Structure 1
């Protein structure tokens, strides 16, 4: 878990980020915050006059003018970037150990933005204040309005420095946060009628239709959503995750752990030992793609029980974007990838 001191027992379930956490020691390690990597980029085209935006907590963020110095959780900043809003600072997994962009960073120029915390729960307040922030934006994974990756112990200090917006990705379909982030981008000056945006939305809609068709044509294909840590294999439920709820609404046949099995995680996932990872038959496995989790290539090398799973032997393992970048440009490929996997899958589970 990321720093137990930053979490509460109820928050541990939230940390699944829509499925299975499996972060283990990787996120618990106490690395130093990244150094400033530049002054960041300006926001979208400026507008004059007062600005306000009512977020999914029911809170209205207000400013005398459209925020220019926006700081956001990495994947949220990546979504805004796709709409032409370049955040000045980011917090959350942004750069990998070799200096490349993390999977959650999307198309962000990671050498251009200021990173005020390069892993979950890391937040350098002094660096944040130094950016003279006009707005803080992140996601919300609970009904309490807890701001994702904003440390609870320093939340009050952080939220005094600028208005904040929380976009809920909890217990709803992904079309909702997609719409909300598009609306936020528009309020910040994005041209949401730009050709690029219109094409991305059409691609998303086509991908959704393709996934619905694939699921209907292959109802026998069971999809398991997993995440790996050294000691535990997590099987995700679909009831709280925006991506999985949407895929399920399109007809995808997911493996669903029992409510009793998921109870310990607040309803997010079931913990399995590596000896018992064959508990649920599956034809396709979607694996958590976050850098803090163990990836299939390493499992192929280190976990004998993994290699024995029928879906693994059949080569029917695909990535799951566990913390999606909620822009149409980034979500369309998620639907396309799952549709293709179901279209091509053989019944093995």
Structure 2
């Protein structure tokens, strides 16, 4: 970060990004936007992936739809004029390959002349490292503890105890307090309410570790692709699944075959693994489980859980309940 820049961040491509002021208007991939919201930064809008349609996918969105953050549709179909009208100061996407943004054409953002932050959610990082990277970005995007300009409400989620409420900001405007000229260095840290979120994450880990030790159930993670086909997750290829294994969850590997993240097979292959509990992909484009033996427990799993301590604490708690006798 140069002496003329008030904000700087090095993303997971190694790109050194900077701006003359702290970005206030954030447009993000929906999964990233939901995590930033949990961390105290309210996006002005979010977009989806090639799997997504014209409406929010609840499995990725967290509370974004409930608090009125606009959804723009799939990122690679975004109209440039629409994005320009939003006047973003920064765009935030994710990466699975460690090289390029997943859900948006980087050339589009380059034409806008704003920084594009790409954060890794692939298996080159473990889950805590992924959470740390999003926390670092959120810390640098908050101004005196306040998030960026958000949807048409200055107090999103007010009156709803289930909705986390970041510190209010002036909405849809650059008027978010006096201009900040002191350089901001991005580093991991906690913002408003984040200490409680981290404590809840650690408590949820402990509850899941205890539940896994007591149950010993074999758990298979999968994504349904219709009555004839299913994608079986390779646990080591998914940071959250690898972390579950480290907490003692007995995850079943689908065995040899093509595919780095998934083994694509039929439901007979899934049943042959004799799972006690199936974590099924609950994203909108996935299909429900088919043809599994009677007595198999089912629990939802989003392979695109927002990377925030709050979101993963909820997932860990739900899984601990599913593992309970």
Q: What interval of TM-score do these two structures reach, taking the shorter chain for normalisation?
A: 0.7 to 0.9
TM-score, with structure 1 as normaliser: 0.72
- Structure with more helix by fraction: 1
In the alignment, is the contact (CA less than 8 A) between 1:92 and 1:122 conserved in 2? Answer: no
- Describe the superposition over 1:257-282 as per-residue Cα deviations: whole angstroms up to 9, x where unpaired: 22x31x3x2x1111112344322111
- Cα deviation 1:121-169 (Å, max 9, x = unaligned): 43322211222221110111013x2211114xxx323333211111111
Specify every segment of 5 or more residues in structure 2 that has no aligned partner in the other structure, as ranges. 146-188
Distance across 2 between alignment mates of 1:271 and 1:130:
42
Q: Secondary structure at the match of 2:235?
A: coil
Partner of 2:305: 324
Count of paired positions: 274
Measured against aligned partners, the alpha-carbon deviations of 1:92-144 in whole angstroms (never above 9, x if no partner) come to 16xx989676221111146743433x24643322211222221110111013x
Judged with a 3 Å threshold, the aligned counterparts in structure 2 of structure 1 residues 314 and 195 are, in CA distance, closer, same or farther, namely farther
**Equivalent in 100, 104, 107 of residue 156 of structure 1:** 107
1:122 alignment partner in structure 2: 77
Q: Quick check: 2:231–2:263 contact (8 Å CA) kept in 1?
A: yes
Q: Which residue, out of 116, 120, 130, partners 1:168?
A: 120
1:232 paired with 2:213, answer no
Question: Counterpart of 1:211?
Answer: 208
Q: Secondary structure at the match of 1:214?
A: helix
- The answer to whether residue 286 in structure 2 is matched with residue 293 in structure 1 is yes
How far apart in 1 are the matches of 2:229 and 2:90?
38
Superposed CA RMSD in Å reads 2.5
Structure 1 residue runs of 5 or longer lacking an equivalent are 1-47, 297-302, 345-349
1:185 corresponds to 2:138:
yes
- TM-score, L = length of structure 2: 0.77
Q: Report the counterpart of residue 71 of structure 1 in structure 2.
A: 27
1:20-39 equivalences in 2 (<5 Å): none
1:239 & 1:209 partners in 2: Cα distance? 21
1:86 maps to 2:83: no
What is the SS of the residue equivalent to 2:13? coil
Q: Matched residue of 1:282: which SS?
A: coil
Q: Is the contact made by 2:57 and 2:283 (CA closer than 8 Å) also made in structure 1?
A: no
